Structures are given as C-alpha cells and as structure tokens.
Amino acid sequence: MEKLINDFTKFYGAAPTVAARAPGRLEILGNHTDYNQGFVLSCAVEQDTRFALRPVEGKHCRVKDFRDGSVREFDLDDIDKAIPRDWANYVKGVIVELRKRGIEVGAFDAGMESSVPLSAGMSSSAAFETAAGFAMREAFGIELSNADWARVGQGVENHYMGLKSGLLDQFSSIFGKKDSMILTDFRSVEVLRTVPLPAGYSIVVINSMVKHNLVDSEYNVRRQDCEAAAEKLAQIYPDVKTLRDVSLEQLAAAKSALTEREYRRALHVVGECTRVIEAVRMLEHNDVKGFGRLWFDSHESSRVNFENSTGELDYLVELAKSVPGGLGARLSGGGFGGITIHLVATDGAEEYAKRVQAGFKARTGIDAEYIICAIGDGATSRKL
C-alpha cells in the first residue's frame, strides 16, 4: 500500500486520505451455484486490488491505474451508462449502485494497483469494485453492511455491465478468512462456517492464458438455461424455487420434462451443490484425497454438462491426473477460459507446477503462468 500512496501523492500533488484493499478469490467447489441460491466453497487469496482516494471539490473525478499509467476522468452528472470495455465502469458502477440506495458520493481523485490476474477467473472485477467501494465508504461515511456491499458489487455486474452473475465473487472478497475456505449459502446469503484447508496442502493456480470476457460469453445463456429448468421442475415439485431445491434423485425422475440441454445444465448445478456439502464432510474427516476427487468430478461436469470449459483447461486437468502430486484439479470461476486450480501437497507444489507447465507448453505451445496460492483475509479499508 505504501507504494500506491507514494505514487498517488507524486501524481496528484497531494496525499490520499483513505485506502482500501480487496482480494481476488478462488471458487473451490460450487460452480455456477450462487445465482441458483445454492452452496459454494470458496476462499479469498493474498493477491489483491488496492485503491487510494482523496475527495475533491466539484463534480470531476479522476482515476489512475498505476499498473499501466492509464487515466480515466468522468463527471458525476454523466455516468448513467457504461462505456463498453472501459475499466472505469467498475468505479462508476459503484457510484450508480450507491445512488440507487439514496447514497451520494462526492468527487475524488483516486489511484489503483492490483496483483490479481486480469480475465483469469480469480475475479479481478469484484476485487476492483469492492476496493473502490470500501474506499468510498471511508471517504464519505457510508454505512452499509458487508452483505449489502457485496450486493453493490453484484449490482455493478448485473445492471451496469449486463452480466447476470451471482454474489460469489464479492462475498468471497469481503468475507474471506486467512487459511480457511468459507461455506456460503446463497439463499440466506450468509457464511455458514469456515472450513480450514488441512495443514500441509496448497492450492496451485495455473492460468491457461485463454482470456475470458464473461460479459461477452455464454454466461447469461447458462443462467437462462438454469432458470428454465427450475421453472419446469417447479411444475412437478411445488417446493422448488431454484435448482438448489432439487435432489439428484428428483432430477433423474423428472428428466423427460426437460430438454437434453436443460437437464445437463441442471445436473451440473445440482451435482455441484451436492459436492460442496460432501466436501465439507470429507474435510471434517481429513479425507484430503476424497476432497481432491471431487475437484476432478466437478471439472468433468463442467466439461460435459455445463460446457463452460475449453480444450486448454481440459488438458491442464488431464495433466493433474498424470503428474505426481496432483490430488485434484478443476476449472475455477465462470469458465470459458481462465484458470484451473490444483490441490497438492505443499512440499512438492513448486515441482508439480513446473511439470504441469512444461507438459502444457509441449502440447499447446503456451507458457502457462502459475501461482502457489495462499488463502488470505477479506477486504479492509482505513483512513490515512
């Protein structure tokens, strides 16, 4: 944070008055279950986005990205519509969402930096929204619960950007706990418990280097498929509100009521909710190998049922089955590119990552990047 504060002061000629940080996240299990009001096992990571801010007079805002030196400027009276593919949308969208709640934000100078990989599946966008929002909270005395701040970030995605995503990314960034995963129920919208990652094991993130832009992907189509399946199942099972309410047995019995595509989409989501609960039970009994097998099962369902994988992601998961030390692997996040996560023993994590990296390059010619991830704490902010 000190570097950001110094860079800010040098650029603007005055020091920031508040600063905030918000981490990226990893979806451990529970793929596309959040907007189906299901269960997710996730964690915050130590890679984060940092945002420093200083209120100024007038209506004119400036934001500088100290990674590439780019600057965005906008007037608070002219932010109703997003500009396609402009990173300032994530800041402007927060202000628009706050206004919907009757909260006004004044003009400011701001700066940001980030170590969360872009368009990779670690939710750089949610980290950005949350860090900006938390900085505004400190600067303008905004009182919202952490769950409501998560909804602000989701609103940026849903309403300002047009991506019909759930609350997973923002929730994980805000509520993450160091060295533990969090089990979240997205019907009650609460963290049910923390689930420690057993000692001696690490998560290796391997980036396929295939960028995904979820706003332009089939993400919204997948959500429509899920909602269509739930609507048909509710006609058979009156208690069904979303796919979260359907058991695997009920889904199998009602298969003929759905199209083939709707059935496969529903099978993925219902299976993922089941795997999340099973994972918690396995970790309670220290069954790390069983936990890892669920990762492989999850990816296979993404590949076959939800069709949100890619050939590159599939090959990284295949390598995990042959490289010594790989206990489990799957795509993480929305899919359609981005990252795979790998469960490995900490002692051999570096060697494992290098071998998978080498195998991937031999097949694809792509230099995959990897991070041996530490699980970090959720977002914070402070006055300077």
Question: Active-site residues: which are they?
Answer: 169
What's the CA gap between 44 and 170, in Å, rounded? 10
Q: How many residues does the chain have?
A: 384
Name the nearest CA neighbour of 183 among 309, 52, 29, 286: 29
Q: How many CB atoms lie within 10 A of CB 234?
A: 15
Q: How many helices (H) and strands (E) does the chain have?
A: 11, 12
Q: Which helix (H) or strand (E) holds 273?
A: helix 260-284
Q: How many CB atoms lie within 10 A of CB 232?
A: 17
Q: Name residue 202's beta-bridge partners.
A: 344
What's the CA gap between 335 and 309, in Å, rounded? 6
What's the CA gap between 201 and 272, in Å, rounded? 22
Q: Which helix (H) or strand (E) holds 369?
A: strand 369-373
User: For residues 56 and 122, is the Cβ–Cβ distance under 8 A?
Assistant: no
Hey, what long-range contacts does 190-197 have (CB within 8 A, 24 or more apart)? 190/147, 193/280, 195/41, 195/280, 195/283, 196/283, 197/43, 197/375
